[in-house]
Structure 1
Amino acid sequence: MGKIYAFYTMPHPPIIIPEVGRGEEKKIKETSDACYKVAKEIAHIKPDTIIIVTPHGPLFRDAVAISAGENIYGNLSKFGAAQVELNLDINVPLTEKIIEYSEKEKILSAEITKSSALQYGIKYELDHGAIVPLYFINKKFLNYKVVHITYGMLPKIQLYKFGMCIKKAVEDSNMKAVFIASGDLSHKLTEDGPYEYSSYGEKFDKEIISLLKNGDVLGVFNIDHTTVEEAGECGLRSYYIMLGAMNGYDMKGNLLAYEGTFGVGYGVMNFSMKESNKDTYNQLIEDKKKRMIQKVESMDTYVRLARESLTHYLMYGEYMDIPDYAKDEIKKCKSGVFVSLKKEGRLRGCIGTIFPTTENVATEIIRNAVAAGERDPRFSPVREDELEELDFSVDVLTEPQEASREELDPKKYGVIVRSGFKSGLLLPNLEGVDTVKQQLDIALQKGNISSDENYMIEKFEVIRHR
């Protein structure tokens, strides 16, 4: 029976490669030394296959991407070091078996070959998220094939289950494998880092490292959405898949190195593994159900109605009736309503009405919740299996009033701009919209109105339900 003999988390900063860093790599020597330690361990294991999950290959919202050619090539020419190149053979039978098992579990995988890459409008190549970790491996060990996977923007439980498919495929293929989860931690650790500084960066890095060291899988899956979103990381989804491939084991992480010298967290870990009868997958499912029940029970009427409306529509293909729990205030008043959906802190859909279009606010919410999930042209329709991952908010609008620029306040008032038949609307108190100019510029852009045109401004307030 095949087995994954070792698991590693490795970062992928191109600057760590001497041909790219040209001396700067010495500033993260601890990380470099830890990567060489991983390479020595892998050389000692002598696997026939290295499975690597990366953030930087072809990224799909609804599928995991798996390189499915016979070999794959890549270099670091984007980082001024074309001479750093890898040309690797792909373990085709294992890749095919992973795809087969994921299809049985209804997890969509995109097979990337040279021909399918052309159809997707992408390149068939080894990305730097794979090249950088494998650069170190190749210094110590060469005789292996690769399974090259790019995680998708799937629900995290599905990514975990995909990891379980990898484990099963290895076991059934009589392969000797190791697993590398490639990913950097927060990109917002310092003011001079690649992104704007956030205090959540250090918080996320400390939390994820502590949870992995303690083998706390449920804790990894329950890290606060805001912390994850604000940290600006790219490794967590690689870790979800890795943890799925560890299902059936008690594991503890051993931190080999952590540095944040360039404003980005670089963590290198290996893991001690002990076989266990613990079914972590079902624990995750039960924990998710429990949290969902708690969430629904604590919701106010407006948010609960929006969630149940979209759920009902996806299950039965029709609008729900107004439920008994809806209060008179929601059944007797008329108003414009916006319903917003977020998934792991990111917008997943938002549709609304400026003025009431139905007989009451309850019906307005029911209709607009479905529209936000099904008809926002910026997003594909919400799938039923996504519902538990979504957070809903409902904004009930006051009647718009004509206003001057001086009367606006982006934290208090939403804005509508009109020019002829064109109009654009922006809700108040949105993250990143701090000035009247920003608010008007975005509203004009949404309405396809030039700032040089004559346009009318209206303001409104909202009662926001989260």
Structure 2
Amino acid sequence: MENILKYYLMPHPPLIIPTIGKGQEKTIQNTIDACNKIGKEIGNLKPETVVIITPHGTMFSDAIAISNEEYIRGDFGQFRDFDTQIEGTIDKEFNEGLINICERENISAAGVDSNLLRRFNRDYELDHGAMIPMYFINKYYKDYKIVHITYAALSDIELYKFGMAIKESAKNLNKKIVFIASGDLSHRLSEEGPYEYSPEGSKFDKALLENLQSGNVLNVFNMDKYAVQCAGECGLRSVFIMLGAMDKEKVNGELLSYEGPFGVGYGVMTFNNELKDDSILESLINMKREKLNKKILSSNPYVKLARESLNHYYSSGTLMAKPSNLLKELSEEKGGVFVSLKKFNNLRGCIGTFLPTTDSIAEEIITNAVQAATQDPRFTRVEEDELIDIDISVDVLERPHKTTKEDLDPKKYGIIVSQGYKRGLLLPDLEDVDTIEEQIQIACDKAGIDSNGDYEIERFQVTRYKEGD
């Protein structure tokens, strides 16, 4: 018998709690019924420990957070319900085994406590992503310890391996475990939702649930990145970890309920799994490598050169020489160049020159790609094993010209603000920079210039090349 008795996908809408919903919860009665069914089933299984993966605890960019004090509690005060409280005893024995496995397998995970979180001005507490599943469990069963885990923005492979570590820890301790992947699906199902509507939202929900029902794990990890980004979900990384814990099991999901009346998808699933002999980890790794190779082959010469520069640097420790077989505009023309690195759609490094500093655009790209990975003071150095998850863009800048605020357009023009030796540059068409005022303020902040004072403004246009375009 497997030590992980059952796996569940559960949503966490706060209004499902009657003292918060105040009647609105009846709109998602099917979701409530499905969650109650899971609560009763867990009560019958009587697990020693419940492992919950949540998106809403204190999240770190570089490490999965495992709550690691004796006890943990929380309330729904942020939703104006100060009376409903949830608490649990932490399974520290399980945590210790899990952390040791992660250290052995080089998985980025760490135990967190009040002292650590205080340094980040955060409280050690249960979040609603964990409390809502516990609310339904506690109706029927309370004699369990909890492993409270907040996922991080790590690669899908590392999250899968973390799930495998959870499975190994459960086996080593020979404990009866229940696993809950807490997560809502798309938050962009309708104009009434919490975020801007996207037609990709319903497509994402449908594809994810169908793949989980059919047990097509490779397809879950191969979902279109654009659709995932547009969906505005918070459950996919929880699912990645859960599927890792199911490694060497045949996944067979049963959809108990799916609703989305408030613009957010709530999926409730239970999994009946059978043991099998083979792991799919190697298949996942190979699939990821194939996707990267296809992306590189389909990329334009500008970002391909940036990728080659990074690969050469990490393999040799030196800057590559300018190749001889480049396009004329790359090898002979000069220009300022910015190279941006993104990981999981988050900036991971960006370095550039607004005027040429070398004899060609190619040399600017080669140099700035390496500096973006190793010299951006806002980030730690990019490690070689991160390159597979990095997306590259290259901006080639036209020469800047003096201008006024009235002639700016943050989607079309980048700007340079200057005051004496102080200078701040901001590229055009950046996410969440929609107004001239925002653009100027950010550029001034970068330069240490008072935006209400006197300064000169220059504007410039760029030609942007993205990997895979």
Q: 1:281 to 1:446 in 2, by over 3 A?
A: same
Matched-pair contact (CA < 8 Å) for 1:3–1:175: yes
Question: Could you say which residue in structure 1 is the equivalent of 2:248?
Answer: 248
User: 1:328: Cα distance to partner?
Assistant: 4.0
Judge conservation of contact 2:422–2:447 (CA < 8 Å) in 1. Answer: yes
Is the counterpart of residue 99 in structure 1 residue 110 in structure 2? no
The whole-number CA distance in structure 1 between the counterparts of 2:74 and 2:255 is 29
**CA contact under 8 A between 1:424 and 1:444: conserved in structure 2?**
yes
Q: Cα deviation per residue 1:345-367 (whole Å; 9 max; x = unaligned)?
A: 23222211000112222221111
Partner residue in 2 for 1:191: 191
Shift of 1:195: 2.1
**Native 8 Å contact 1:49 1:144 kept in 2:** yes
CA–CA distance in 2 between the matches of 1:119 and 1:78? 21
Query: How many Å separate the matches in 2 of 1:383 and 1:122?
Result: 28
Deviation at 1:409, TM superposition (A): 4.2
Instruction: Output the CA distance in 2 between the equivalents of 1:352 and 1:389.
Output: 21
Residue in structure 2 matched with residue 218 of structure 1 by the alignment: 218
Q: Could you tell me which residue of structure 2 aligns to residue 60 of structure 1?
A: 60
- Quote the Cα distance in structure 1 between the aligned partners of 2:447 and 2:231: 32
1:389 and 2:380 correspond:
no
Question: Residue 358 of structure 2 corresponds to which residue in structure 1?
Answer: 358
Q: Does 2:26 match 1:26?
A: yes
Does structure 2 conserve the Cα–Cα contact (< 8 Å) formed by 1:225 and 1:345?
no
1:417 aligns with 2:417: yes
> How much does 1:378 deviate?
3.0
Question: What is the rounded CA distance, in whole Å, between the counterparts of 1:121 and 1:415 in structure 2?
Answer: 34
Match of 2:49 in 1: 49
What secondary structure sits across from 1:270 in the alignment?
strand
Relative to structure 1, the CA distance from residue 405 to residue 223 in structure 2 (aligned partners, 3 Å threshold; closer, same or farther) is: same
> Which AA in structure 2 matches 1:346?
N
What secondary structure, in the 3-state scheme, does the structure 2 residue paired with 1:47 have?
coil
Corresponding residue for 1:299? 299
Work out whether residues 97 and 169 of structure 1, in 8 Å CA contact, stay in contact via their aligned partners in 2.
yes
Do residues 275 (structure 1) and 275 (structure 2) align?
A: yes
Q: What displacement does 1:286 show?
A: 0.8
CA contact (8 A) 1:314 1:384 kept: yes
Give distance in 2, aligned partners of 1:325 and 1:283. 35
**1:456 match:** 456
Shift of 1:151: 0.7
Shift in Å at residue 104 of structure 1? Answer: 0.9
Aligned residue type for 1:237: R
Which residue identity does 1:326 align to in structure 2? L
Equivalent in the alignment of 2:343: 343
**Cα offset for 1:41?**
1.4
Q: 1: distance between equivalents of 2:60 and 2:403?
A: 43
SS across alignment from 1:123: coil
Cα distance in 1 for partners of 2:52, 2:324 equals: 52
CA contact (8 A) 2:153 2:344 kept: no
C-alpha separation between the residues in 2 aligned to 1:392 and 1:243? Answer: 29
SS at match of 1:107: coil
Deviation by residue 1:193-237 (Cα, 9 ceiling, x = unmatched)? 222222232222222222212222222112222222222211111
Residues 214 and 252 of structure 2 are in contact (CA less than 8 Å); yes or no, is this contact kept in structure 1?
Answer: yes
DSSP-derived class of the 1:189 partner: coil
SS of the residue corresponding to residue 378 of structure 1 reads: coil
* Cα offset, 1:50, TM superposition: 0.8
Cα distance in 2 between the residues matched to 1:429 and 1:126: 38
Give aligned pairs, total: 466
Structure 1: segments with no counterpart, 5+ residues: none
How is 1:166-181 mapped onto 2 (pairs within 5 angstroms)?
A: 166-181=166-181
Paired letter, 1:322:
K
Could you say which residue in structure 2 is the equivalent of 1:90? Answer: 90
Q: CA deviation at 1:190?
A: 2.4
Shift of 1:438: 4.7
How far has the Cα of 1:143 moved from its partner?
1.4
Bigger mean CA deviation after superposition, 76-85 or 96-105? 76-85
Partner SS, residue 326 of structure 2: coil
Q: Which moved more, 1:388-397 or 1:292-301?
A: 292-301
Amino acid at match of 1:92: K
Contact 1:350 1:372 (8 Å CA) reproduced: yes
Instruction: For residue 39 of structure 1, report the CA deviation from its aligned partner.
Output: 0.7
C-alpha deviation, 1:191, in angstroms: 2.2
Equivalent residue number for residue 308 of structure 1: 308
- Deviation digits for residues 65-110 of structure 1 (CA, Å, limit 9, x no counterpart): 1112222222222222232222212222221111111111101222
Whether 1:398 aligns to 2:414 is no
SS in 1 for 2:139: helix
Most deviating of 355-364 and 305-314: 305-314
- Aligned-partner Cα distance in 2 for 1:459–1:117: 42
1:137 aligns with 2:137: yes
Instruction: Please name the residue that 1:427 is paired with.
Output: 427
Match of 1:317 in 2: 317
CA apart distance, 1:159? 0.4
CA contact (8 A) 1:428 1:461 kept: yes
* Contact 2:52-2:181 at 8 Å conserved across structures: yes
Query: Which residue type is aligned with residue 87 of structure 1?
Result: E
Summarize the alignment of residues 112-131 of structure 1 with structure 2, pairs less than 5 Å apart.
Answer: 112-131=112-131
**Aligned-partner Cα distance in 1 for 2:121–2:432:** 32
Point out where structure 2 has 5 or more consecutive residues left out of the alignment. Answer: none
Separation of aligned partners in 1, 2:98 and 2:438? 47
TM normalised by structure 1 equals 0.94
Shifted more, 211-220 versus 157-166: the winner is 211-220
AA in 1 matched with 2:196: E
Structure 2 CA distance for partners of 1:419 and 1:114, relative to 1, 3 Å: closer
Distance in 1 (CA, whole Å) between partners of 2:81 and 2:234 is 23
Q: Distance in 2 between matches of 1:259 and 1:35?
A: 13
Contact persistence 1:341–1:349 (CA under 8 A): yes
1:272, CA displacement in angstroms? 2.2
Residue 434 to residue 145, structure 1, CA distance change in 2 (3 Å): closer
Q: Structure 1 CA distance, aligned partners of 2:452 and 2:149? A: 48
Shift in Å at residue 456 of structure 1? Answer: 2.7
Amino acid at match of 2:353: T
| SS at 1:255 equivalent | strand
SS of the residue corresponding to residue 140 of structure 1 reads: coil
CA spacing shift, 1:325–1:161, aligned 2, 3 Å = farther
Superposed CA deviations along residues 18-74 of structure 1, whole A, max 9, x for unmatched, are: 122222211211111110011111112121111111111121111111112222222
TM score, norm. by length of structure 2? 0.93
Deviates further, 60-69 or 75-84 = 75-84
What is the letter of the counterpart of residue 135 of structure 2?
A: Y
Whole-angstrom distance in 2 between the partners of 1:42 and 1:324: 65
